[in-house]
Amino acid sequence: MNRKKIFFGLSIFLFLGACTAPTAMLGPAYTFTSTGSVAQAGLNYGSNQLITSYTGKTPIKNLEEITSKSLSLEKNIQKQTLESEDFYQLVKTKIESNRGKIKLVNQ
């Protein structure tokens, strides 16, 4: 009886294996094995499918897009800071004050 179940399971797996993406169930399978909760694994899979159908991208692609936007925004803020007039004046006054201190030390 047990061999029939194994044979039946493997034959279904072989015939229906190409119906879905092979990696689509890796996340929920890992969740199930680590937590033991079928509900949590189902919620994981369902939320991933919902996000993919709503945005057209996988959750990982969405995360990459969000982080790349925040990094480019951060770079623009740094560039604006370095090119600002206030930063220029601050550096100029610090250089002048340090020159004065160096002249006093060298005398």
Q: What is the pLDDT of residues 60-93, one digit of tens each?
A: 888 888 877 766 666 666 777 778 888 888 888 8
Record the pTM: 0.38
What pLDDT, on a 0 to 100 scale, did the predictor assign at position 86?
Answer: 86
What pLDDT, on a 0 to 100 scale, did the predictor assign at position 62?
Answer: 80
pLDDT tier for residue 5 given thresholds of 50, 70 and 90: confident
Element (H, E) at 9: helix 2-16
Q: Which residues contact 55 (CB under 8 A, 6 or more apart)?
A: 62
Q: Using CA atoms in the order 46, 52, 55, 57, what is the torsion angle rounded to 10 degrees?
A: 150
Q: Does residue 22 register a pLDDT over 60?
A: no
